Amino acid sequence: MISWENLDTLSSYKKLQSLKNAVSLKSVLSGDAGASRVREYSVPMAAGLSFNYASRQVNEQVLQVLSELASEAQLSQKFEALYNGDVINTGEKRMVLHHLLRGQLGGKVEAEGCDKREFYLNEQKRIADFAGQVHSGKITNEKGEKFTTVCQIGIGGSDLGPRAMYLALENWAKAKGKFFMDAHFISNVDPDDATAVLKSIDISKTIFILVSKSGTTLETLTNEAFVKDALKKAGLDVSRHMIAVTSETSPLAHNSDYMQAFYMDDFIGGRYSSTSGVGGAVLSLAFGADVFAQFLEGAAEADKTATQTDIRKNAAMLDALIGIYERNVQGYPSTAILPYSQGLSRFPAHLQQLDMESNGKSVNRFGKKIDYVTGPVIFGEPGTNGQHSFYQLLHQGTDAIPLQFIAFKENQTENDVVIQDSTSQQKLCANVVAQIIAFALGKDDSNPNKFFAGERPSSLIWGERLEPKTLGALLAHYENKVMFQGFLWNVNSFDQEGVQLGKVLAKNVLAKNTQGALAEYAKIFGM
């Protein structure tokens, strides 16, 4: 029997509270003991990735209590209930099925009169078939010319995840001969966004993907109208240039404005939709359906690993538990995501939404106020760029901020050069390991401006190279980490009421239904 209890009612959590500041990184990472710790505090992940947590402030005692917390909070049982189709999204009274997009972890899940795994597989096949016809030239523009570009129109989870995944694989695909179509994205309702994209592409050879599950998202429909206007002014047939990714009940379904529509359902949240048609259509058109299939395979491997009950064999659960220790016991307010891979340039932005929209909650899954902190602020930039930006605060600021490094031994393009006795990739990796140790050990100096306190915890996810399977595994790792933390905090990680109020007020402003301060602010913009 699963019991949904607040974190502060669990006896293991109370035990964990007594272990604040249990570890000095300067002590455990010094000398031969430090080398041994780096070797031992590592967990194999999916797709050849590894999770090293030697530089996080945990020891055997803390890890034992975290294991007890995982058991008491029934993390494995709750995950099992989720992938077997229990109604986990209590706010919207829905199942949560994004894991089913990439594999069958449990039994058959039926809803809306069908086997949902079969439904998702069928949509993936339809997308693959469509992409194949586009690449072969069977589907062309009005002049019989092949399409060369794809442009996704969407916002939030319809943009951040797919854009991050596309950028993560673009260089790899070009190096491996897997690049079929250039991809662009329009998300912001600011007309400058759409204008800049449209001016940078040949719209006569572009397929536009409109992504909106409900078919009513104001920003997306506004940008759709903007694009349709451009197509019509260019004398192009809108229905030969647009497809939709939506639900079967939306106004976009079975609509003559689109040459094809691919379907998702309400059981896939926007920020969890990169492995659905939301990411599948653009990635399959850009790189081919086989690349998208590899991406799903990596995610499926990571999901399977997340079913492990032993936290030292379950990187996502362990990462989540240590994150709870850092947030709720150590009191750290933020987490920085620091990928030392240019391909992951937009991955931190995606994780901002994934984490902060999921667990930025102050009431539990039953709507009751909670008395402990929940989701941290997530931010980040690729290394080494971030080193010349906000690392000053990370090293010497008043707040200690946990850091999550992501790095790869090899680059994606296999193109490099030796400069001053080392390659660029070697310099990149040298910076990763140097930063981990610098943050952990700091530096004594009689000059206060040159003193580094150290004791800044970090972890490292690393692998050979960023490619489709590793990217899928990396994405699923963070999705599962966020899920486990939501279970621990007893919040609903799968709704997002916090984004709704501003939308409602914006509609009131446009309808001139305003008063008081809202009306005065509207006057500033002549509304």
The alpha-helical segments, DSSP class H, found in 86-143 are 116-136
Q: Give the span between the Cα atoms of 218 and 507, in whole angstroms.
A: 9
Count of positions (residues) in the chain:
527
Residue 154 · residue 184 · CB < 8 Å = no
Distance CA 335, CA 323 (A): 9
At 495 the three-state DSSP class reads: coil
**What are the two backbone dihedrals, phi and then psi, of residue 209, each rounded to the nearest 5 degrees?**
-105, 115
Active site residues per annotation: 357, 388, 503
DSSP lists the bridge partners of residue 185 as 152
Q: Which residues of 214-237 are buried (b: 16+ CB within 10 A; e: fewer)?
A: ebebebbbebbebbbebbeeeebe
ω into 384 cis (within 30 of 0):
yes
Instruction: Determine the Cα–Cα distance for residues 227 and 102; give it in Å rounded to an integer.
Output: 32
Q: Are 463 and 291 in contact (CB under 8 A)?
A: no
Q: How far apart are the first and last CA of the chain?
A: 55
| The token pair that represents 215 in the structure block | 């078919």
- In angstroms, rounded to a whole number, what is the distance separating the alpha carbons of residues 215 and 264? 12
Residue 325 CA neighbour count, 13 Å, CB half: 30
The Cα 87–Cα 94 span in angstroms is 5
Across-strand partners of 261?
244
